[in-house]
Amino acid sequence: MCYAIPAKLVAIEGDKGIVDYFGEQRKVLLDLDDVKIGDYIFAQGGVMVRKIPEDEAQEILKTWKDIFFELKKTDEVMSKINTENMPENALAILQKINLRQMIKKDEMHTLLELTDPNELKVLYEIANHVRQREHGNASCVHGIIEFSNYCAGNCHYCGIRHDKNIPRYRMSIDEIIAAAKDAVDTHGFKALVLQSGEDYWYDDEKLITIVKAVRKLGTLVFVSCGSRSKETYKKLYEAGARAALMRFETSNPDVFATLRPGTTLADRIQLIKYLKEIGYVIATGFIIGLPGTTTDDLVNDILLTKVLSPDMYSFGPLIPTEDTPLASTSMVTKDLVLKTIAVSRFVDSNSNILVTTALETLDVEGRKEGLLAGANSLMLNITPMQYRKLYAIYDGKVTDNQEVTQSIQDTVDLLYSLGRAPTDIGFSCNTNTEGETNE
Ligand code: SAM
Ligand code: SF4
């Protein structure tokens, strides 16, 4: 998969570099020794992952050149909004956002409770417009390898919780590295998420071996193995992991304590903040529709995500799952998820927002609609087929039978049809709303 654009290093400022592709510039962490101005590199999520020879880079850029500008044009057209018949309240929001003013908590609440299909349509269009204004047509596609479904945790919503009687698997170190190598060498991934239950069979030494080997492949290593100790995460950072996916699940401390027995929201938040502090790129967020939560909680979920200043928002609907304490909880609507994407885009206009598999599981059109409601990132499941169904965190996971080559092709087709390009390589220099709060 040629799903990344190489960039040229044009300036160095301390440990950061400014890179350029087709006249657009981004800031990235220089995470490699021996790079110099003029080098061509691949970067993902603001981290340089690999140097590439100039002739190879030129060749890739040549194939990208025409399509890149075509895609930009398509995205510009698709994200234009027509203000002619726009309802007053929507116009007011648009004006605020255009002036880069914060939307307030009560306004977020109102937007999350909209139900009129015409108003929802306008809401999603404005969010898509803001996404385009902040990111251009940049999108990112990460691969996820689910390497173990053993878990010491017992979260009430999760299909691989400790107490659920399911067949368990654990990939060996060699299997994980081989799956990552295939993802990078055969399929062209530049960012891989290594995810599991809280499985302490993988001690620090094993995790370090895995992270070092996967980093060496020239990819951004995301770790997502739950609430391990700060020391473990520090060692993994030193081994080359640069990103962590860890949701806080809900901003409501009582709901958290009930649904994640024996753990507290405060500890989870403290760990996420620590990861950020030591340099990890963070993806975090929440589950929409947990029992006991209200629209006010959802507003707080979005605002807590913002406070944690992640590189990527990761949230999705609860998918009630058999033989879990939440099996009979009602499913949320697709529109509630799309509204959450749109409102998150307004609240933190410069963020990356992921369309999660749970939204796709809720509705086959969820991926496309999420991308058109303000989201700009996707994750593809590249767990080896023999383990895919066993990582059953919820029922009917849409990726269970998706073969990698086909899902890449479908994703590329979808992104191109929307005019999106794989240029989430670093941080833009766009200004964000400053000095105001959402209170
Ligand atoms: N064990 C790690 C952790 O908890 O951070 C990582 C793996 S865990 C399966 C990844 C995420 O799956 C959780 O953070 C949770 O938000 C999500 N999840 C689990 N069960 C779910 C369900 N039934 N519906 C939607 N999301 C779910
Ligand atoms: Fe385990 Fe994570 Fe599932 Fe909780 S959400 S049971 S920690 S895999």
Q: What is the pLDDT of residues 34-81, one digit of tens each?
A: 889 999 999 888 888 889 999 999 988 888 888 888 999 999 999 998
Q: How far is the CA of 232 from the centre of ligand 1 (A)?
A: 20
What separation in angstroms does the CA of 123 have from each of 91, 129, 197, 305, 343?
A: 10, 10, 36, 21, 9
**Ligand having the closest approach to the CA of 325:** 1
CA-to-CA distance for 334 and 331, rounded, in angstroms?
Answer: 9
Give me the percent of the chain exceeding a pLDDT of 70. 95
Segment of 377-381, 422-426, 431-435 carrying the highest mean pLDDT: 377-381
Atom nearest to 149 CA in ligand 2:
8
Type of residue found at 184: V
Q: What is the pLDDT of residues 226-257, one digit of tens each?
A: 999 999 999 999 999 999 999 999 999 999 99
Residue showing tokens 């070092």: 212
Tell whether the model's pLDDT for residue 327 goes beyond 70: yes
Range in 183-187, 262-266, 297-301 with the lowest mean pLDDT: 183-187
CA-to-CA distance for 271 and 111, rounded, in angstroms?
Answer: 31
Q: Tell me, using a 6 A CB cutoff, whether residue 197 lines ligand 2.
A: yes
Tell whether the model's pLDDT for residue 432 goes beyond 70: no
Report the chain's C-alpha Rg in angstroms. 21
For a pocket test of ligand 1, which of 158, 193, 232 has the largest count of ligand atoms closer than 8 A to its C-beta?
158
In sign, the C-alpha dihedral spanning 209, 210, 213, 219 is negative
Q: What is the pLDDT of residues 268-278, one digit of tens each?
A: 999 999 999 99
Q: Tell me, using a 6 A CB cutoff, whether residue 288 lines ligand 1.
A: no
Q: Tell me, using a 6 A CB cutoff, whether residue 228 lines ligand 2.
A: no
pTM of structure: 0.94
Query: 7-77 — its CATH code?
Result: 2.30.30.140
Give me the percent of the chain exceeding a pLDDT of 90. 68
Domain boundaries, the chain: 7-77, 135-423
- CATH superfamily of this structure's domain 135-423: Aldolase class I (3.20.20.70)
Tell whether the model's pLDDT for residue 281 goes beyond 80: yes
Q: How far is the CA of 66 from the centre of ligand 1 (A)?
A: 40
Instruction: Output the pLDDT for position 2.
Output: 45
Nearest Cα residue to atom 3 of ligand 1: 226
> Mean of the pLDDT values across residues 309-331?
96
Tell whether the model's pLDDT for residue 3 goes beyond 70: no
> Mean of the pLDDT values across residues 14-20?
89
> Mean of the pLDDT values across residues 91-108?
83
How many residues make up the chain in this entry?
Answer: 439
Nearest Cα residue to atom 25 of ligand 1: 318
